[in-house]
Amino acid sequence: MSMSHYACHGDIVEENFVKEICPDEFNKLQEFLKNHNSDIGEFAHSNQLAGEFLDLYDDDNPDISLDKECEKLWEELKGTFERETGLTLDIGYFDGENRLDGMMGVYWSVKNVYILTEAGRKYSDRITRKSWCACG
């Protein structure tokens, strides 16, 4: 690999699995984003790039940031997922071109999987370890 490419990997779960484990929290976050002209993709992309949220502001009062509310909903989703599964949930976004590895757009990943923990063994049929190359 050249200096501008680096190997990445993640223990990837499907979005449907996240929805199945914590449907209420997922729907609350998704609805919040939708109500503020955003979506899960933008949320994942901003979280991936800056480790921050979307810089969402109240439509009626542009001085009021909605980031704290967004962060609270994200933490509720992650907390419920971890309580229910024993796995730590994360979200990311990959926008590489000409991908042959199936990585494109939003991805959900989990931690606390390998060496297989009790929680990792329990959900091993729902987790796929994937690797990809990123440019940077």
pLDDT class of 83 with cuts at 50, 70, 90? very high
pLDDT at residue 52 tops 80:
no
Backbone angles phi, psi at 76, to 5 degrees: -65, -45
- The two tokens of residue 22 are 């914590």
> Please, are residues 53 and 70 in contact by the beta-carbon 8 Å criterion?
yes
Task: Give the β-pairing of 128-135 and 5-13.
Answer: antiparallel
- For residue 65, pLDDT over 70 is answered with no
Say if residue 25's pLDDT is above 50.
yes
pTM: 0.73
What is the rounded average pLDDT of the residues 39-45? Answer: 85
The three-state (H, E, C) secondary structure of 51-99, written as one string: CCCCCCECCCCCCCECHHHHHHHHHHHHHHHHHHHCCEEEEEEECCCCC
Q: What is the pLDDT of residue 128?
A: 84
pLDDT of 13: 94
